[in-house]
């Protein structure tokens, strides 16, 4: 192709509405309808044409339209209100500001951290703190598809809440020239993946420049070459996300494609992308002069950031590699997002050699040592999840259940340590409420919940109980309005698809009669990964047909979802449902919408009656779409997987199946299928159609219960606060302590770990005596004395504790621990006696004594996975 220059010609913005450009360049618009309404007021058709993208809008709009708006008093009022709300948002004192004030006043970390492992002795950095959040996907808005599903949407919502709460925060990702694919369904029901070229000048992003106005560029090493990338920035309220872009003429064609598409290409593309994201991401932060004090790895794709940091510590700071590894751990957090094996990237040792052998020696590591940073014996390669897990001080899953599932997945890394003490916690996902709430619902809440309900800068959740003050019929009317909007949208969407597919006029027209607003409507929209079981409903087509075609109490279904282009079974499932929807008995009553994205998702989860979720437990780590549905008064009907067991209370939705796991998939599928149909036929359909004056009273009470119980807890406000309080603040403190005096603490910790590993096998619990034999009364205390041989291990470096819990088939569970105190030395040298008293509630308990390594600088009890249990009791 011949070379060319580009030039952009944009209409002049009248002075009165000058700040429209600023509003367009901040994703604030994506959760504030007052800004969106401005663009709609200028030219509604154009707003739809540019797919709700304000920057593209300003490139396309006629100057005359802008002048007309600037001359309208009504518009100017609207404009001033929007600008005011934006300014207030940007300047408002946030939770974090107040936190820093309190910390500053006392000179100490204040009690935000529930687990205060030595919190008191530390000064808070405040001004220098910065959380860097790395993610391969960010789902921020429909106008730019940098997401494939839940992971990306969660990252986008995380950033929005970090902005709301005023956290010092920066996101790091990749800017994909084609984003994720657009899904078109052809006449045969096959999915076609189309990649659209994204013209970056139409996106709300700007290039990062150096002080002399030149593009900042970072360079990463790939086999036999260097690849350069420039840095784009996107503003999300108060925070920025940096996006790397390798589409530069200096790079080869293949390298320019590294930021071609999300999750595209082969293993080579994949590792290149991940190196660019992780290592390039660190360099991008440095290029901008940013020095994060907390590093958050959102899913394993970004874990190479730890390799770049290792290189920095070793090469730039001159730390020995063992000390550097401690420095990495100190302030980093890893969030794992899926128990599905395909979600964990593994690269072969040969590949790692090709991409990293240049570094081995520079890091002071042998090939084997480098591979050992993340070696996965079972899969025979370098596992990105293990890279993160092994080298982050903090790790978490994304729901209570997923935390437990992750602990069992990685229990093997912690031999002899009870499953429940595997150091992987959980922070249950949430959603950014204002992004997902329908404007109509928002208006209703404004009216009945008081204005302060949407104050998102505060750590206090609004009083959602005031949902009870909303008159039933008002809530129902808004719901029906949203449902009608959704039905019209769905009809238009299917009609457009048929026109594009050159279907007959009759087939296009027929869509007018599809889906009726009065009919109970069930939505199922998600990625078409097979474990999500989109086909569960179709296991008995006769039963489905009688549900759908019931003359008095019919049901209709809307499906949407993309299957990854490499996922054949997922695509087959789409075709299957598409074929079903074409059968006479289901036509117009089961509808599949192509190209599931944020826009469609909003319409569906604001406008259906029931949101259906049928994953094969426990494969769904959390799920978030149901939370978005719930804030809009849509009832969840879900398998007890992911977030749902935490939310379901018997009156705020419906639970499919049981909360335990089946021995095999077929049994589980069959069981869930029966459960689903029985719920639909016996509970959901009757309740929906039990209407007086066109309103189902019981149903509306469930809707309110659902909003009240789900909106406050399953929000990113609660979620990001939990990340901040449980992890970020601690990691930030640790960053200070560990980096002081030339990384002194890291050296000590490194030596201590080495010493303890060497000498742990000398430790033995010689005897345990207890004050009572088999039974005692609740007011008595159990006195325990243990004689321990420590060998060369100093007393300061161990914790001797009693461990007690419920006696179960699998040993002790629901474990409690209580440290024993040193009582003195025993007869022979090196033996120490420890003792302590435990109060036990009524019941039967098992107890034992153990020794574990201890240092005040450990992030958690099993930072060093060593333990010595009493052998005979």
Ligand X SMILES: *Cc1c(COP(=O)(O)O)cnc(C)c1O
**Residues at the site binding ligand X, with contacts judged by CB under 6 A:** 149-150, 153, 526, 596-598, 601, 623-626, 628
Q: How far apart are CB 526 and ligand X at their closest, in Å?
A: 3
The single residue listed with the structure tokens 């050699």 is 353
- Judged by beta carbon, residue 166 or residue 653, the one nearer ligand X is 653
Rg of the chain taking only CA atoms, in angstroms: 29
Spatial CB neighbours of 711, under 8 Å, sequence gap ≥ 6 = 433, 464, 630, 631
7: tokens are 């030039």
- Judged by beta carbon, residue 179 or residue 418, the one nearer ligand X is 179
φ, ψ of residue 498 in degrees (nearest 5): -70, -40
Q: How far apart are CB 633 and ligand X at their closest, in Å?
A: 17
CB 688 within 8 A of CB 696: yes
- Judged by beta carbon, residue 601 or residue 835, the one nearer ligand X is 601
Q: How far apart are CB 602 and ligand X at their closest, in Å?
A: 7
- Judged by beta carbon, residue 605 or residue 746, the one nearer ligand X is 605
Q: How far apart are CB 624 and ligand X at their closest, in Å?
A: 5
Handedness of CA 268, 274, 276, 279 (dihedral sign): negative
- Judged by beta carbon, residue 142 or residue 312, the one nearer ligand X is 142
Q: How far apart are CB 657 and ligand X at their closest, in Å?
A: 17
How many other C-beta atoms are found inside a 10 Å radius of the C-beta of residue 203?
20
Beta bridge partners of 715: 431
Residues present in the chain in total: 873
- Judged by beta carbon, residue 119 or residue 623, the one nearer ligand X is 623
Q: How far apart are CB 555 and ligand X at their closest, in Å?
A: 21
- Judged by beta carbon, residue 154 or residue 330, the one nearer ligand X is 154
- Judged by beta carbon, residue 330 or residue 630, the one nearer ligand X is 630
Spatial CB neighbours of 136, under 8 Å, sequence gap ≥ 6 = 151, 173, 174, 262, 263, 273, 274, 277, 299, 301, 302
Q: How far apart are CB 431 and ligand X at their closest, in Å?
A: 7
C-alpha distances in Å from residue 804, one per residue of 57, 411, 799, 801: 64, 20, 15, 10
How many other C-beta atoms are found inside a 10 Å radius of the C-beta of residue 504?
9
- Judged by beta carbon, residue 150 or residue 805, the one nearer ligand X is 150
Q: How far apart are CB 623 and ligand X at their closest, in Å?
A: 4
Burial 554-585 (b: 16+ CB within 10 A, else e): bbbbbbbbbbbbebeebbbbbbebbebbeeee
Q: How far apart are CB 120 and ligand X at their closest, in Å?
A: 40
Q: How far apart are CB 409 and ligand X at their closest, in Å?
A: 19
How many other C-beta atoms are found inside a 10 Å radius of the C-beta of residue 225?
11
User: Vertex 693, ends 688 and 698: CA angle to 5°?
Assistant: 35
SS3 label, residue 677: helix
- Judged by beta carbon, residue 618 or residue 626, the one nearer ligand X is 626
CB 472 within 8 A of CB 69: no
- Judged by beta carbon, residue 606 or residue 625, the one nearer ligand X is 625
C-alpha distances in Å from residue 739, one per residue of 690, 743, 745, 746, 747: 65, 4, 8, 8, 10
- Judged by beta carbon, residue 261 or residue 595, the one nearer ligand X is 595
SS3 label, residue 583: coil
User: What distance separates the 2 farthest-apart alpha carbons in the chain?
Assistant: 97
Q: How far apart are CB 139 and ligand X at their closest, in Å?
A: 7
- Judged by beta carbon, residue 281 or residue 626, the one nearer ligand X is 626
Distance separating alpha carbons of residues 832 and 823, to the nearest angstrom: 8
- How far from the centroid of its chain's Cα atoms is residue 715's Cα? 12
- Judged by beta carbon, residue 283 or residue 532, the one nearer ligand X is 532
Distance separating alpha carbons of residues 183 and 567, to the nearest angstrom: 14
Judged on CB neighbours under 10 Å (0-12, 13-18, 19+), 506 is exposed
- Judged by beta carbon, residue 595 or residue 726, the one nearer ligand X is 595
Distance separating alpha carbons of residues 60 and 43, to the nearest angstrom: 11
User: Vertex 369, ends 366 and 370: CA angle to 5°?
Assistant: 90
Distance separating alpha carbons of residues 697 and 403, to the nearest angstrom: 38
User: Vertex 115, ends 790 and 760: CA angle to 5°?
Assistant: 15
How many other C-beta atoms are found inside a 10 Å radius of the C-beta of residue 405?
24
Q: How far apart are CB 429 and ligand X at their closest, in Å?
A: 9
- Judged by beta carbon, residue 150 or residue 204, the one nearer ligand X is 150
Q: How far apart are CB 142 and ligand X at their closest, in Å?
A: 8
- Judged by beta carbon, residue 139 or residue 805, the one nearer ligand X is 139
Distance separating alpha carbons of residues 608 and 632, to the nearest angstrom: 10
Burial 452-479 (b: 16+ CB within 10 A, else e): ebbebbbbebbebeebeebeeeebbebb
Distance separating alpha carbons of residues 644 and 638, to the nearest angstrom: 7
CB 494 within 8 A of CB 514: yes
Q: How far apart are CB 382 and ligand X at their closest, in Å?
A: 28
- Judged by beta carbon, residue 275 or residue 600, the one nearer ligand X is 600
Q: How far apart are CB 483 and ligand X at their closest, in Å?
A: 18
Q: How far apart are CB 615 and ligand X at their closest, in Å?
A: 9
Distance separating alpha carbons of residues 546 and 542, to the nearest angstrom: 6
Q: How far apart are CB 656 and ligand X at their closest, in Å?
A: 15
Q: How far apart are CB 411 and ligand X at their closest, in Å?
A: 26
SS3 label, residue 377: coil
Distance separating alpha carbons of residues 570 and 576, to the nearest angstrom: 10
């Amino acid at each position: 192709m011949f070379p060319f220059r580009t030039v952009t010609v944009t209409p002049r913005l009248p002075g009165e509405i000058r700040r429209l450009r600023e509003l367009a360049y901040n994703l604030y618009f994506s959760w504030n309808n007052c800004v969106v309404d401005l663009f709609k007021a200028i030219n509604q058709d154009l707003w739809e044409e540019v797919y709700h993208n304000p920057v593209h809008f300003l490139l396309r709009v006629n100057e005359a339209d802008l002048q007309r708006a600037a001359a309208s008093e009504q518009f100017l009022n609207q404009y001033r209100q929007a600008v005011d709300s934006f300014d207030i948002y940007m300047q408002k004192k946030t939770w974090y500001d107040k936190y820093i004030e309190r910390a500053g006043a006392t000179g100490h970390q204040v009690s935000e951290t529930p687990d205060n492992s030595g919190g008191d002795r530390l000064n808070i950095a405040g001004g220098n703190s910065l959380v860097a959040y790395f993610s391969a996907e960010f789902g921020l808005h429909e106008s730019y598809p940098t997401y494939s599903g839940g992971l990306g949407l969660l990252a986008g919502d995380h950033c929005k809440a970090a902005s709301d709460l005023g956290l010092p925060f920066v996101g790091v990702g990749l800017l994909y020239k084609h984003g994720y694919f657009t899904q078109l369904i052809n006449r045969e029901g096959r999915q076609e993946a189309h990649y659209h070229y994204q013209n970056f000048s139409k996106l709300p992003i700007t290039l990062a420049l150096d002080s002399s106005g030149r593009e900042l560029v970072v360079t990463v090493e790939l086999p036999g070459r260097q690849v350069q990338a420039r840095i784009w920035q996107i503003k999300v309220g108060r925070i920025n996300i940096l996006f790397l872009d390798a589409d530069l003429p200096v790079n080869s064609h293949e390298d320019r494609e590294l930021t071609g598409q999300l999750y595209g290409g082969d293993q080579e593309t994949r590792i290149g992308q991940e190196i660019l994201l992780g290592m390039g991401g660190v360099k991008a932060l440095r290029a901008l002069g940013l020095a994060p004090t907390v590093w958050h790895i959102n899913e394993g794709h970004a874990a190479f950031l730890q390799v770049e940091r290792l290189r920095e510590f070793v090469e730039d700071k001159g730390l020995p590699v063992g000390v550097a590894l401690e420095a990495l751990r100190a302030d980093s957090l890893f969030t794992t997002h899926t128990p599905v094996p395909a979600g964990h990237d593994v690269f072969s040792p040969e590949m790692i050699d090709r991409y990293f052998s240049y570094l081995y020696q520079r890091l002071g590591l042998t090939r084997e040592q480098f591979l050992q940073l993340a070696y996965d014996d079972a899969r025979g390669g370098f596992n990105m999840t293990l890279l993160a897990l092994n080298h982050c001080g903090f790790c978490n899953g994304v729901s209570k259940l997923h935390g437990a599932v992750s602990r069992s997945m990685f229990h093997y890394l912690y031999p002899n340590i009870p499953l429940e003490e595997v150091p992987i916690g959980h922070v249950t996902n949430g959603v950014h409420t204002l992004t997902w709430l329908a404007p109509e619902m928002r208006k209703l809440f404004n009216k009945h919940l008081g204005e302060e309900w949407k104050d998102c800068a505060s750590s206090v959740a609004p009083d959602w109980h005031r949902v009870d003050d909303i008159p039933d019929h008002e809530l129902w009317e808004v719901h029906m309005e949203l449902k009608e909007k959704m039905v019209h949208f769905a009809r238009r969407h299917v009609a457009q698809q048929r026109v594009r597919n050159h279907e007959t006029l009759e087939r296009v027209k027929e869509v007018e009669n599809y889906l009726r607003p009065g009919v109970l409507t069930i939505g199922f929209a998600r990625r078409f990964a097979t474990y999500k079981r989109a086909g569960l409903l179709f296991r008995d087509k006769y039963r489905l047909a009688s549900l759908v075609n019931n003359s008095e109490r019919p049901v209709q279904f809307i499906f949407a979802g993309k299957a990854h282009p490499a996922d054949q079974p997922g695509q087959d499932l789409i075709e299957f449902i598409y074929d079903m929807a074409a059968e006479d008995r289901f036509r117009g009553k089961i509808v599949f919408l192509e190209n599931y994205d944020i826009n469609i998702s909003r319409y569906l989860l604001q406008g259906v009656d029931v949101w259906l979720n049928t994953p094969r437990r426990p494969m769904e780590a959390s799920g978030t779409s149901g939370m978005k549905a719930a804030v809009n008064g849509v009832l969840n009907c879900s398998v007890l997987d992911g977030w749902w067991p935490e939310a379901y209370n018997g009156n705020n939705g419906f639970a499919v199946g049981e909360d335990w796991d089946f021995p095999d998939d077929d049994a589980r599928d069959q069981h869930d299928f029966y459960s689903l149909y029985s719920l639909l036929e016996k509970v959901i359909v009757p309740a929906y159609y039990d209407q007086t004056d066109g309103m189902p009273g019981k149903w509306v009470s469930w809707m309110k219960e659902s909003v009240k119980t789900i909106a406050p807890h399953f929000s990113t406000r609660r979620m990001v606060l939990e990340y901040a309080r449980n992890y970020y603040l601690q990691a930030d403190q640790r960053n200070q302590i560990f980096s002081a005096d030339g990384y002194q603490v890291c050296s000590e910790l490194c030596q201590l770990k080495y010493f303890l590993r060497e000498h742990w096998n000398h430790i033995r619990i010689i005897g345990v005596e207890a004050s009572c034999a088999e039974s005692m009364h609740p007011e008595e205390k159990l006195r325990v004395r243990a004689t321990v041989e420590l060998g060369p291990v100093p007393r300061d470096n161990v914790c001797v504790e009693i461990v007690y819990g419920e006696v179960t088939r699998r040993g002790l569970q629901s474990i409690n621990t209580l440290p024993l105190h040193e009582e003195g030395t025993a007869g022979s040298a090196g033996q120490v006696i420890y003792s302590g008293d435990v109060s036990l509630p009524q019941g039967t308990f098992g107890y034992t004594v153990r020794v574990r390594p201890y240092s005040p600088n450990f992030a958690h009890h099993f930072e060093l996975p060593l333990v010595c249990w009493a052998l005979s009791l």
